């Protein structure tokens, strides 16, 4: 799968947000690519509609796709920890075709639960949509923690 360089600009202000900086940190830790810029590391998350349609539905998922999904949700777990000070951990349960479940657990509380379908097509049309999805998941998680603080603690 090839990515169009124009999908992400090197000086996009969204690259300075806590989410993007943490996601880049997660990507650097898992891939050891210190020499690549933030934009280069985030580029694989940006997939146009045409690129998604070109990816077959039933195919083996590449390890870098699993790593990308794991980094995305680990980033959300880290942001939950920063917001509320409670340890959060991410669990991925995926089959070889890219179907499964992602859970983020804080204490004994499931704060994020997502069904994963077509992992090979995981991506966002632009950086803004990537951040919006992360913000939405973070908001849901923090609401659940606020509703059940004794379970989350």
The ranges assigned to domains in the chain are 13-152
Q: Where are the beta strands (DSSP E) in the chain?
A: 88-94, 100-106, 109-116
Asked whether the beta carbons of 72 and 45 are under 8 A apart, the reply is: yes
The structure's pTM equals 0.88
Q: Greater confidence, 48 or 5? A: 48
The CATH number of the domain covering residues in 13-152: 1.10.3100.20
**What average pLDDT does range 42-50 have in this prediction?**
88
**Helix ranges (DSSP H) in the chain:** 18-31, 38-42, 49-54, 63-84, 127-147, 149-152
- Any idea which of 55-64, 96-105, 118-127 has the lowest mean pLDDT? 55-64
Average pLDDT along the chain:
88
Residue 111 pLDDT greater than 70, yes or no: yes
Asked whether the beta carbons of 18 and 79 are under 8 A apart, the reply is: yes
Residue 138 pLDDT greater than 50, yes or no: yes
Q: What is the pLDDT of residue 54?
A: 80
Residue 7 pLDDT greater than 60, yes or no: no
| Structure-token pair, residue 146 | 């606020």
């Amino acid at each position: 799968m090839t990515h169009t360089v124009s999908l992400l600009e090197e000086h996009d202000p969204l690259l300075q947000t806590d989410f993007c900086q943490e996601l880049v940190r997660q990507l650097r830790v898992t891939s050891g690519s210190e020499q690549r810029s933030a934009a280069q590391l985030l580029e694989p998350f940006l997939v146009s509609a045409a690129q998604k349609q070109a990816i077959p539905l039933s195919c083996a998922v590449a390890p870098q796709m699993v790593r990308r999904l794991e980094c995305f949700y680990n980033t959300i777990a880290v942001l939950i920890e920063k917001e509320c000070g409670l340890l959060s951990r991410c669990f991925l349960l995926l089959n070889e075709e890219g179907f499964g479940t992602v859970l983020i657990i804080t204490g004994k509380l499931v704060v994020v639960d997502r069904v994963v379908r077509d992992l090979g097509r995981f991506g966002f049309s632009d950086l803004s949509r990537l951040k919006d999805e992360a913000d939405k998941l973070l908001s849901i998680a923090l609401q659940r923690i606020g509703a059940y603080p004794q379970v989350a603690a």
